[in-house]
Amino acid sequence: MRFKLPRCVVTVAAAWALVAGAAANAQETVKIGVILPMTGPFQSTGWQANAAINLFLKQNGSLVAGKKIQVILKEDAGVADNAKRLAQELIVNDRVHVLLGFGLTPIAMAVAPLATEAKIPMVVTVASTSAVLDRTPFAVRTIQTIPQIANIVGGWAARNKIKSAVTLVSDYAPGHDAERWFVQSFEQGGGKVIERLRVPLANPDFAPFLQRARDAAPEAIFAFMPAGVGAIFAKQFAERGLDKSGIRIVSMSDVMDDDILNGMGDAVLGIITGGPYSVAHPSEHNKKFVAAFRAANGNRRPNIVSVAAYDGMELIFRALQATKGVADGPVLLEAMKGVAWESPRGPIKIDAQTRDIVQSIYMRRVERRDGELHNIEFETYPAIKDPAR
């Protein structure tokens, strides 16, 4: 399918052509343009990612392959139009070599055509909808995809004798992805979804939806919402008495986000989630990462968003080492494909064909350990690719 580029994108392409005369490998500084929501309802996402970028630079320095690394942070408040304008400024005015971040799927989708026209890599460290990487051949993802997790969770639920479920998801593209892939794998395993509920993304009130779920009397509720909103869900889950109803929660990892889990209280004990990272992941590499992150950030815990941003910086550094400092967009992108390393979450790889992440998905249970609530991994599914791509 051919798309007609909007006028603003053509303008960016023309401007980029004018400023790209100086070859990237001849420059002393490689610039990384970071776009994150540092204010607004998704500011915890921006904070986590930015904290991880700062930690990575503190640990690894700002020099790689003889080139100085400069990070330029732009704040989009979680608004796609803001992100698009900021990406234009980063490309045309700041002449960045890489874009990184993108706190929501609509933001990543809005910026994708600009990355294509400028021919620069776009490292997606938050947006998890499968289709994001289809919008530009220059996008690479270091976080997760929704189907990677929901497909595993649905199959696990069916295999563990859960016969009926209600789905409760945020009403936007990732939520729709989560609903679809959970339902598909759960019903293929013999389960039945008896109701599908979608909650508005802005200012969510889960209480009436939780009541509807309770009235449907399923054995389990499958839930998904963006990281940071899980605390509202957990509070209203307890207020409605669902923690004592016998209805199980089997959800995406975002619902029991490590950043806010410890403040949710005992009502969430025993909740099952699937995801690629827990702050309690038992590897020595993760223990060192968590200790360093907490020491640098007033004892606040990291989460998958911070790990994905940390790995995004690792990917850029590894690609620059492979190119010996050449930061020309297509060259740098090729160097990112197929790269594999040990992340705090475990072994990961950038698939050379899809540019998406390959990683382990863990089933976890909320438990209290050492005075804190943690997602404790009890089952591992290694080297999982996005089934949608």
Q: Are strands 340-343 and 346-350 parallel, antiparallel or unpaired?
A: antiparallel
Residue 40's pLDDT is what?
Answer: 87
- Does residue 162 sit within a domain? yes
Residues 73 and 104 in one domain: yes
My answer on whether 111 and 192 are in the same domain is no
Contact 387, 129 (CB under 8 A): no
Which residue from 326, 321, 331 is spatially nearest to 65, judged by alpha carbons? 321
Cross-strand bridge partners of residue 165? 193, 220
3-state secondary structure the chain: CCCCCCHHHHHHHHHHHHHCCCCHHHCCEEEEEEEECCCCCCHHHHHHHHHHHHHHHHHHCCEECCEEEEEEEEECCCCHHHHHHHHHHHHHCCCCCEEEECCCHHHHHHHHHHHHHHCCCEEECCCCCHHHHHCCCCEEECCCCHHHHHHHHHHHHHHCCCCEEEEEEECCHHHHHHHHHHHHHHHHCCCEEEEEEEECCCCCCCHHHHHHHHHHCCCEEEEECCCCCHHHHHHHHHHCCHHHCCCEEEEEHHHHCHHHHCCCCHHHCCCEEEECCCCCCCCHHHHHHHHHHHHHCCCCCCCHHHHHHHHHHHHHHHHHHHHCCCCCHHHHHHHHCCCEEEECCEEEEECCCCCCEEEEEEEEEEEEECCEEEEEEEEEEEEECCCCC
In a domain, 1, yes or no: no
pLDDT in tens, 343-381: 999 999 999 999 999 999 999 999 999 999 999 999 999
Q: Is residue 243 part of a domain?
A: yes
Tokens of 31: 């610039």
Q: Is the dihedral of CA 327, 328, 331, 333 positive or negative?
A: positive
Q: Rounded to two decimals, what is the model's pTM?
A: 0.91
- 173 with 243, same domain: the answer is yes
| Residue 332 belongs to some domain of the structure | yes
- The CATH number that applies at residue 79 is 3.40.50.2300
What tokens does 304 get? Answer: 């998958």
Q: Residues 148, 80, 199, CA angle at the centre, nearest 5°? A: 55
In a domain, 66, yes or no: yes
Kindly state whether residue 210 falls inside one of the protein's structural domains: yes
2 within domain boundaries:
no
Cβ(276)–Cβ(148) below 8 Å: yes
Task: Give CA separation, 209 vs 169, 171, 218, 301, in Å.
Answer: 10, 12, 13, 30
pLDDT tens, position by position, 120-134: 999 999 999 999 999
Q: What angle do CA 126, 122, 305 make, to 5 degrees?
A: 20
Flag whether 389 is in a domain: no
| Inter-residue long-range contacts of 187-192, CB under 8 Å, 24+ positions, other chains counted | 187/154, 187/158, 188/154, 188/155, 188/158, 189/154, 189/155, 189/157, 189/158, 189/159, 190/158, 190/163, 191/154, 191/157, 191/158, 191/162, 191/163, 191/164, 191/165, 192/163, 192/164, 192/165
Same domain assignment for residues 54 and 122: yes
Q: Tell me the pLDDT of the chain (389 aa) as tens digits.
A: 433 444 444 454 444 444 444 443 445 899 999 999 999 888 999 999 999 999 999 999 999 999 999 999 999 999 999 999 999 999 999 999 999 999 999 999 999 999 999 999 999 999 999 999 999 999 999 999 999 999 999 999 999 999 999 999 999 888 999 999 999 999 999 999 999 999 998 888 999 999 999 999 999 999 998 877 888 898 898 888 888 889 999 999 999 999 999 989 888 999 999 999 999 999 999 999 999 999 999 999 999 999 999 999 999 999 999 999 999 999 999 999 999 999 999 999 999 999 999 999 999 999 999 999 999 999 999 999 999 98
Both tokens of residue 78? 């979680």
User: Do 298 and 267 fall into the same domain?
Assistant: no
What total of structural domains would you count in the chain? Answer: 2
Q: Which domain holds residue 305?
A: 7-144+285-355
118 shares a domain with 18: yes
pLDDT for the residue numbered 23? 43
Residues 130 and 167 grouped into a single domain = no
Q: Mark whether 11 and 81 lie in a shared domain.
A: yes
pLDDT score recorded for residue 154: 98
> Do residue 365 and residue 238 come from a single domain?
yes
Residues 139 and 265 in one domain: no
Amino acid at 219: E
Q: What is the pLDDT of residue 27?
A: 57
Tokens of 335: 């160097």
Do residues 198 and 61 share a domain? no
In this structure, the answer to whether residues 46 and 127 fall within a common structural domain is yes
